[in-house]
Amino acid sequence: MDFFKSLTVAASGLRAQAGRMRVISENIANADTTATRKGDAPYRRKVVSFQKSLDQEMGVQTVSLGPVKRDKGEFRSQYEPGHPMADAKGFVQKPNVDTMIENLDMREAQRSYEANLNVITTTRRMLARTLDILRA
C-alpha cells in the first residue's frame, strides 16, 4: 500500500535529520574547546552527508545518514597569552566551528524533521479515515 511506503520514506527522513541534529549539537558543544595537550589540534567541525538507499521490501528510495566527515577548514586563532595552550606569540587555536552557521543548519534540520513528521501524521490520519470508511 502507498500509505506504508510514505511512512517508510518519512521515517527514514526523521532518522537522517535526527542524526544530523546530533552532529550539529556536537559541533556547537565543542565550539570553544581547545586542544588538551600542546601540539594537538583542537576539535574539528563535523559535516554530515546523506545517501539514498533502496528499501527492497517496500520498493522505495529512502534516505540515511551518510559518512560524517571532518571539515578541512582553518582553525580560528584567538589571542590569549595566559592560556596554557597558547603558542609562543600568545595565540590559541580554536575549533573551526562557526556557531551562526551551526544554528542555521540546526534550524534547517529541524524544519526538515518537522516536515517528515507532518507526512507521518497526515498519513496516519488518512489511514484512520480509510479504516473508518471501511467499517461503515
pLDDT at 3: 87
Looking at residue 39, its pLDDT comes to 80
Which distant-in-sequence residues (6+ apart) come within 8 Å of 11 by Cβ? 116, 120
Confidence band, pLDDT 50/70/90 cuts, at residue 62: very high
Residue 43 CB-density burial (10 A; 0-12 exposed, 13-18 middle, 19+ buried) = buried
Could you count the other beta carbons within 10 Å of the beta carbon of residue 35?
17
Q: Supply the pTM of this predicted model.
A: 0.87
Indicate the domain borders of the chain.
2-135
Reduced to 3 states (helix: H, G, I; strand: E, B; else coil), residue 72 is coil
Contacts of 63 by beta carbon, 8 Å cutoff, 6+ apart: 9, 12, 13, 16, 50, 51, 52, 53
pLDDT at residue 1 in the model: 57
Q: Tens of pLDDT along 74-91?
A: 999 999 998 888 888 999
Contact, 95 vs 44, CB < 8 A?
yes
Closest CA to 106 of 35, 48, 32, 36: 48
pLDDT-wise least confident of 19-23, 38-42, 113-117: 38-42
Report the C-alpha gap between 122 and 91 in whole angstroms. Answer: 54
